[in-house]
Copies of this chain bind each other. A is one copy, B any other.
Amino acid sequence: MTLFGPTTRAIRERLYEEDRRYSVRQVAGRVGIEPAYLSKIERGEVSPPSEVTTVRLAKELGQDPDVMLALAGKVSADLQAIIRKRPRLFADLIRQLKEAPDEAVLRVVREVRDGDW
């Protein structure tokens, strides 16, 4: 059910085709984990790594950290902190937007970005 491993493997292998520096060993080395551990992660033998490791891995593979964290079944700690500061407000907002089409959410994002508050 967790696509984190296979997805990671696919991305790394694609990079490896053009650049030998994307072997399990070398990527693991730059990310700061053991090669055997990365191998297990990619095959889904173990659950996705911690947030810190996931983010390092995402950056290493040129991926969006938030997307990688989502695949890992997590939500970035900094986002959680923002929500926790005003729980009712954000809980309402997010639940409101649950069924909204991407288009509508995007409109809100832009509106807020250009907002006059």
User: A-side interface residues toward B, CB under 8 Å?
Assistant: 64, 66-67, 69-70, 73-76, 78-80, 82-98, 100-106, 108-109, 111-113, 115, 117
Q: Are B89 and A102 in contact (CB under 8 A)?
A: yes
Top 10 A-B residue pairs of the complex, sorted by shortest distance between their CB atoms = A70-B87, A104-B117, A66-B91, A66-B87, A70-B84, A75-B80, A96-B112, A93-B109, A89-B105, A67-B87
Give Cα A75 to B64, complex, Å: 22
Q: Are B88 and A94 in contact (CB under 8 A)?
A: no
Q: Are A64 and B88 in contact (CB under 8 A)?
A: yes
Min CB distance A107 to B, Å, is: 8
Q: Are A101 and B117 in contact (CB under 8 A)?
A: yes
Interface-central residue, A86, A94, A111, by most chain B CB under 10 Å: A94
Q: Are A108 and B105 in contact (CB under 8 A)?
A: no
Q: A79: which of B74, B91, B103 is its contact (CB, 8 Å)? A: B91
Q: A104: which of B79, B94, B115 is its contact (CB, 8 Å)? A: B115
Q: A82: which of B73, B94, B102, B106 is its contact (CB, 8 Å)? A: B94
